[in-house]
Structure 1
Amino acid sequence: MSKRRALSPLSKVWRRTLRAATGQVLRATQAATQQVVKKAAKKVAAAHTASKPPSDGRGDWIAGLTLSRSGPRRYRLFRPAGIASGARVPLVVMLHGCGQDAAGIARSTRMNRVAAREGFFVLYPEQSRLANPQRCWNWFETESGRAQEEMAQILAAIDQTALLYPMDRARVAIAGLSAGAGMAALLATAHPDRFRAVAMHSGVPPGLASSTPSALRAMRGLASPPDIAAPPVGPRDATRGAARGAASDAPSWPPLLVIQGTRDRVVARVNAGEAVRQWSVAAGASARAAREVQRGKRHPMTVTDFKRGSVLAATLVEIDGLAHAWSGGAAKEAFSDPAGPDATAMIWRFFAKHLR
């Protein structure tokens, strides 16, 4: 066995110097890493503070992300506190309008407060600026297929949250404001089996646009209404309906609530009438007597139900003096009018009847 050769004095000095230099590098690296971690922790803490639930409802404001072929999409989920073990609770999907995000529509509508009180989840899918510079949902881009892609992303967010949290997939309702209303209605007609009810606030119904230019015409109330097939109501009508191709193709859409202001200069009032016309024709419903309602000093409203027998197909709420804003929304929020009747309460009452 060979003996280990003794180190020379010069080698010993060199090794000591190397160890000292290595230690200094390691200590400097550790210090730098700690600084990076501290900065990152501060950023996370700041982001967490900024993303507290934007309402006074007790619960959690959860961030999430869905992935699809067209890219990632963020969402926020409000989970109310105190959900009983083993419970399966309803889900309300809220789609924001142009110039908003998830937190913006949550603050304006205060839907989280209602959810905390009544015990349901609220999902807020969020549009990205890459998909639309104004964060508008592309409800009108049916010709290019972008609308269909965004519908798939919203459905993916619903499926993802339903897997992670105790939601009842059979009790889902969807509502939206402006562009979000257009997307909500489009989803309800394209996937009627996924929703128990739908609410449009100041939006354009399906079938009136397939591109940006046609969307602008539709918003001004200049679009030609689509031909909606009416279901048969009797034996002889069934024969005639079959001849029109309507008997087997008549859609079964979820009940619709439409809220529209009479002073809306962004989305023409005629669009609200067109929405309930589509639902009424599709269900074979007719208008009942309109009723005037005013609560306190808030804007008065005219409410008209559209029914087939005792079954409600649609309800139209026209609010006198309301512009392009969420009726009864939080003060000082964009697209919000606190002087209007409480649209959030109206929507939940409408949904609650169909989510039982």
Structure 2
Amino acid sequence: MAVRKSITWTKIFARSFAAMSRSTLRTSARVIGEAIEPTVKRLRPPPGTGQWIAGVAMGSTGMRRFQLYRPPGVMVGERLPLMVMLHGCLQDAKSFATSTRMNGVAARERFLVLYPEQDRVSNAQGCWNWFDTTAGRAYGEASLIMKAVDQVCLMYPVDRSRVAVAGLSAGASMAALLAAKHPERFKAVVMHSGIPPGTAHSSLTVLGAMQGRRATKPLIATRGAKAMSWPPLMVIHGGSDRVVAFSNGQAAVQRWAEAAGATTVRERTVQRGRRYSTNVTDYKRSSSTVATLVEIAKLGHAWSGGSSKQPYTDARGPDASRMTWAFAARQFRTRRAD
């Protein structure tokens, strides 16, 4: 009888242990799944055709991750233009690609898109430190972005004579800093809702700059580069922006035009369907457009015409991604003709 009881209790214990093990495994699998889901989600490519390629740029000032979009059907020996896209605060490469839908434009028009990504260790909000010229972080990050550009140009079918840079908010300010520092590398620069370099120089002065309470110093070419050789600038800015005052957009084109000696101004109003209307002002030197200001009166601090399902976008505005590419493509053609 004692033996039977022992066998019975052994079976009960074995079944209980097996049930506990299965429960533990299910719990562990759920916990592990929840832990890795953010990483899996981040690595999952944005919707659409083409390749989403991860990379890392390294330099003396650190390292930065980046993503590269390559459109489908690239032929052997073919060289494509490159658009460098710099995200805003609280964004990363993937969210910026998804919200702007720039990859869709790239697939149709056949160009590559590089998305450098800010490190949250360097800025907890994911903002590019474009303003921190005093401590040197701005130039260090600019150097790492250029390392990413160099790496992509070396490893992928990039036409080095057709490279443009664009950005949103803090990314827009970094884009302008890059173009002013390396004018020979870019044929066009687009600032969307940004602050021109020279308006802030530290984290303490950024808030005043965002509110339009700081004057923008005259822009100075770096490393002996002449301002006359700077790539044409297009500024897209919302007239209803309560985060970065519209006066920053005006200051950006005015300082850029002044530095390049542009004097002629031409204004026009553009309305496409039911989207917000825009006031466009061109600053010209002779027959060449040096800077263009696109004011979208009803737009706030958001990428114009972006995905309606993403934050920091407004689908009711004109398509800024299409405008950005059209502006860059026009400079590519003009520079080749010259």
TM-score under structure 2 length normalisation: 0.84
CA distance in 1, matches of 2:238, 2:105: 23
1:320 aligned residue (273, 294, 297): 297
CA offset digits 1:9-61 (Å, max 9, x no partner): xxxxxxxxxxxxxxxxxxxxxxxxxxxxxxx9xx99996675343142x2100
Deviation at 1:289, TM superposition (A): 2.9
CA distance in 2, matches of 1:197, 1:151: 17
Equivalent residue for 2:155? 164
* Cα separation, partners in 2 of 1:133 and 1:311, compared to 1, 3 Å: same
Give the alignment of 1:107-126 within 5 angstroms. 107-126=98-117
Q: SS in structure 2 opposite 1:72?
A: strand
Deviation at 1:186, TM superposition (A): 0.5
Give the alignment of 1:21-36 within 5 angstroms. none
CA distance in 1, matches of 2:264, 2:46: 38
**Unaligned segments of structure 2, at least 5 residues:** 1-31, 334-338
Deviation at 1:340, TM superposition (A): 0.5
Letter in structure 1 aligned against 2:249: A
Equivalent residue for 2:329? 352
Give the alignment of 1:79-228 within 5 angstroms. 79-228=70-219
Letter in structure 2 aligned against 1:283: A
- Please state if 1:290 is matched with 2:257: no
Give the alignment of 1:306-317 within 5 angstroms. 306-317=283-294
Deviation at 1:209, TM superposition (A): 1.0
Q: SS in structure 1 opposite 2:163?
A: strand
**Unaligned segments of structure 1, at least 5 residues:** 1-39, 231-247
Equivalent residue for 1:3? none
Q: How large is the RMSD of aligned CA atoms in angstroms?
A: 2.4
CA offset digits 1:57-91 (Å, max 9, x no partner): x2100111112223221000001111111011110
Q: SS in structure 1 opposite 2:250?
A: helix
Equivalent residue for 1:36? none
Letter in structure 1 aligned against 2:46: P
> Contact 2:228–2:261 (CA<8 Å) still a contact in 1?
no
Equivalent residue for 1:337? 314
Identity %: 54
Q: SS in structure 2 opposite 1:290?
A: strand
CA offset digits 1:179-238 (Å, max 9, x no partner): 0000000010111111000000000011111101112111111112213579xxxxxxxx
* Cα separation, partners in 2 of 1:155 and 1:47, compared to 1, 3 Å: same
* Cα separation, partners in 2 of 1:292 and 1:250, compared to 1, 3 Å: closer
Structure index of larger Rg = 1
Q: SS in structure 2 opposite 1:154?
A: helix
- Give the ranges of 4+ consecutive aligned residues of structure 1 lying more than 4 Å apart after TM superposition: 43-50, 248-251
Deviation at 1:292, TM superposition (A): 1.1
Equivalent residue for 2:277? 300
- Please state if 1:267 is matched with 2:277: no
CA offset digits 1:122-170 (Å, max 9, x no partner): 0000001100000000000000000000000000000111111111122
CA distance in 1, matches of 2:257, 2:233: 10
* Cα separation, partners in 2 of 1:164 and 1:210, compared to 1, 3 Å: same
Q: SS in structure 2 opposite 1:292?
A: strand
CA distance in 2, matches of 1:72, 1:345: 31
Deviation at 1:348, TM superposition (A): 0.6
TM-score under structure 1 length normalisation: 0.80
